[in-house]
Amino acid sequence: MWYAVISEDIEDSLARRLGARAAHLARLTALVDEGRLLLAGPHPAIDTEDPGASGFTGSLVVVEFPSLEEAEAWALEDPYVAAGVYDRVVVKPFKKVLP
């Protein structure tokens, strides 16, 4: 089923994000290829799609896994965890109703 992976960044995470972004995206594109990614993207720190130096405060990823345990393990292995981008990650089962 689907799982929402809701991540919160440390303060001023932008430089760390940029450093680990390629590895972070590679994991996500692999899931796109398998049809297991519903959506993914970061939360701009200010009210615009391109926040520039203000950066991002976290990420939302909705991804398919056989179990919550496997989704959590995958979330904790995100390169953004090792790079110190994320400070907190919550994984919740997600039921897609609309559209």
Partner 1 sequence: MTSSREERIRQQLQRTLDPLELIIKDQSQLHTGHEGAKDGKGHFDVTVVSQAFAGLNRVQRHRIVYDALRDLLESDIHALRINAYAPSER
Instruction: Pick the stretch among 17-25, 48-56, 58-66, 71-79 that binds partner 1 (CB under 8 A).
Output: 71-79
Under rule CB under 8 A, residue 92 binds partner 1: no
The single residue among 39, 69, 87, 93 that binds partner 1, judged by CB under 8 A, is: 87
Give the contact letters, 12-51, x = binds to partner 1 (CB under 8 A), - = no. Answer: ----------------------------------------
How many angstroms separate the CA atoms of 64 and 74, rounded? 11
Binding site for partner 1 (CB under 8 A): 73, 76-77, 81-82, 84, 86-89
